[in-house]
Amino acid sequence: MGCDTGGRTGGGRLAWAFVVFTGEQGQLRLVGTITPQKYEGGHASGFDGIELASGRVTAEETWHRRMDPTRCPSGKAVTEWRVGADGLLTAGEPRVTG
């Protein structure tokens, strides 16, 4: 899901997330909301993609460094989310990759 001003640059992006559900006995159950964990500049962070696996979600994030133009985030990070004993996703520490 996303929220933006209709613009096509980082300055127009207000929020970005993936909502993860599981199916149990014909019913959907919320597992968690994947949001970018790395933030430095004045613009909302986004994603290059996510990978779903049993018990975890790996999120490839993009983020603006303070000097980046609005259309060109140069920061890259990976955050691994794990399903806890309560059945909900919890974020690990983001690992900066670029």
Q: pLDDT digit string (tens) for 53-72?
A: 999 999 999 988 888 887 78
- Separation of alpha carbons 13 and 70, rounded Å: 10
pLDDT grade, residue 77 (50/70/90)?
A: very high
**What's at 47, amino acid-wise?**
F
Please state the rounded mean pLDDT for residues 4-13.
70
Range of the domain at 60: 2-96
Nearest residue to 20 (alpha-carbon basis) of 7, 32, 28, 11? 32
Question: How many domains does the structure of the chain reveal?
Answer: 1
- Separation of alpha carbons 57 and 89, rounded Å: 8
Nearest residue to 63 (alpha-carbon basis) of 85, 42, 45? 45
Stated as kind and residue range, the H or E segment containing 60 is strand 56-63
pLDDT grade, residue 95 (50/70/90)?
A: very high
pLDDT at 70: 76
